[in-house]
Structure 1
Amino acid sequence: MAAEAARVPTVVVDNVKLTYRVHGAGAGKGNATSALSRIIARKGAAGVTEVHAVKGVSFVAYKGEAIGLIGRNGSGKSTLLRCVAGLLPPTSGKIYTHGQPSLLGVNAAMMSELTGERNIILGCLAMGMTQAEARASYESIAEFSGLEKMSKGILNRPMRTYSSGQGARLRFAIAAARSHDVLMIDEALATGDREFQQRSEARIRELREEAGTVFLVSHSMKSIRDTCERVIWLHDGVILQDGPTAEVVAAYEKGA
């Protein structure tokens, strides 16, 4: 009971729903008179479809946890993370966070016309580092990314010349350079060779020990098993299962 009381909530998601309005080919047809008629009749515009991406999701995350989010494409995983990060306001429900949630690649924003070197410095500044701290972190970030081993001088080239995998490596390296209250990572560990994945997994464990909470979205069940002790399985916008990694992953692999 004392151990339970010592757990500190970092994210509380309370019955969160998110609905998109998608405008199809029929949207915008008709004249002003027909549009006014629809408003008076309280009807939506022609060709507008509502997509219910998240349907009443609730959970509590605690300090020191690494939580995997799994599910098929379109299950609502990335949408849910964007809601927690404050990038998408939920249609209904509440989200409470302790500290500032950081979605990988948001704080470390990439500018395609600038070099990798400049993006490292700007990414560090965006996370709240001073100029001196950013410059002091540069070498370790560059080394962690492993990009110079892949292609000599790549950090002096514009980001628009990078592959998506190279960009993901650099975003992860920047985001992992400091501790976060809540760090959300979307598929970063699926990028790169096994050596980079192992470094990423080790860094996530360090972030947890530094009192943060980590969310990991991945289709790699090995990464989920190696990194997370708790897993939330989303399907069609709802939670099918939330519990210990081995138990939830086994059920997912059996039902997927």
Structure 2
Amino acid sequence: MADNTDNRHEARVPTVIADELHIVYRVNGGSGGRGSATAALNRILRREEGASRGMREVHAVRGVSFTAYRGEAIGLIGTNGSGKSTLLRAIAGLLPAESGRVYTNGQPSLLGVNAALMNDLTGERNVMLGGLAMGMSREQIRDRYQGIVDFSGINEKGDFITLPMRTYSSGMAARLRFSIAAAKDHDVLMIDEALATGDRPFQIRSEERIRELRKEAGTVFLVSHSSKSIRDTCDRVLWLEKGELLMDGPTDEVIKAYEKETGK
């Protein structure tokens, strides 16, 4: 019995480790006239002189520690401004740590509804560029192209995939972003509110794809204000408030505690 337990522990492969992670934003503040060129020049001069007057610090993540394992889908919940998106950006390597560390095993990929697409290019061209940016070969993109388009539902009401992205609604653009990202098998995929966009059939397809990604030995992080999406998709939840990790545990247990505390 002891040997079997040891084997199970050995099979759990860490993909992300956060060790007492702190993230601090520093924002240049100021008094009246902060939008003027003169005020901007004064701020630059003050920085060069080493002055910190008018500098505001926002401690967005405070001493967060956890370990994520391959095959897990982890939900991040918390009220607005709790540090969820900041934590994802730190895991993706887009924000430096003030102190503490983030270790990743494999390449993390962050997908957010505000992820940039090129509005003057067609959806078709964006699929190609997005796939290349994620490290897919042209052959892989060609093989998966129709699946990406079908998954997104972009063409359900016309041949929109051949039109410039600027003609898309925000929902269409967000669905295409998710579809491009979901076409690749990721070591660590982080999704920021992607499932909140689109109709229920698209949400169901997205949830099914996340489960497939888990089976393909990836790790998925999902930030969402929808408890249903978290429950349907994730087996573990991190609850953040004011940058601190309040709770880390099974989905139902953490969401029930969160709903009891917040009344949501």
The one-character-per-residue Cα deviations of 1:195-243 (angstroms, maximum 9, x if unpaired) are 0000000000000000000000000000000000000000000001000
TM normalised by structure 1 equals 0.91
Q: Does 1:60 align with 2:34?
A: no
Alignment correspondent of 1:125 = 132
Match of 2:87 in 1: 80
1:156 pairs with 2:149: no
User: What is the percentage of aligned positions where both structures have the same residue?
Assistant: 64
Amino acid at match of 1:25: G
- The SS at the match of 2:57 is strand
1:188 and 2:197 are equivalent in the alignment: no
> Structure 1: where are the runs of 5+ without partners?
none
State the shift of 1:31 in Å: 6.5
Matches within 5 A, 1:34-183: 35=46, 39=50, 44-45=52-53, 47-104=54-111, 110-149=117-156, 151-183=157-189
Alpha-carbon separation, structure 2, partners of 1:95 and 1:170: 30
Q: Decide which of 2, 5, 8 is 2:13's aligned counterpart.
A: 8
Contact 1:109 1:123 in 2 (8 A): no
| Whole-Å separation in 1 of the counterparts to 2:42 and 2:139 | 59
Which of residues 197, 202, 208 is equivalent to 2:203? 197
Q: Does 2:252 correspond to 1:246?
A: yes
For residues 37-65 of structure 1, the C-alpha deviation after alignment (integer angstroms, 9 at most, x for no partner) is: x74xxx512x2211101111110000100
Q: Assess if the C-alpha contact under 8 Å between 2:22 and 2:98 holds in 1.
A: yes
Give RMSD over aligned pairs: 2.2
Aligned residue in 1 for 2:230: 224
Q: Would you identify which runs of 4 or more consecutive aligned residues in structure 1 move more than 4 Å?
A: 27-32
* Aligned residues between the structures: 249
Contact 2:23–2:59 under 8 Å retained in 1: yes
Q: Distance in 2 between matches of 1:162 and 1:85?
A: 27
Aligned mates of 1:172, 1:58 — CA distance in 2: 28
For structure 2, the residue ranges without an aligned partner over 5 or more in a row are none
Residue aligned with 1:178, SS: coil
Which of 19, 22, 35 aligns to 1:17? It is: 22
Provide closer, same or farther for how the CA distance between residues 194 and 135 of structure 1 changes in structure 2, counting only shifts above 3 A. Answer: same
Q: Report how far residue 176 of structure 1 moved.
A: 0.5
One-letter amino acid of the counterpart of residue 245, structure 1: T
Deviation at 1:25, TM superposition (A): 2.9
Partner AA of 1:229 in structure 2? D
For residue 10 of structure 1, give the secondary structure of its aligned residue in structure 2. strand
Distance 1:148 1:207 in 2: 24
Cα offset, 1:109, TM superposition: 5.1
Which SS does the other structure have where 1:90 is aligned?
Answer: coil
* Aligned CA distance change for structure 1 residues 170 and 29 (closer, same or farther; 3 Å): closer
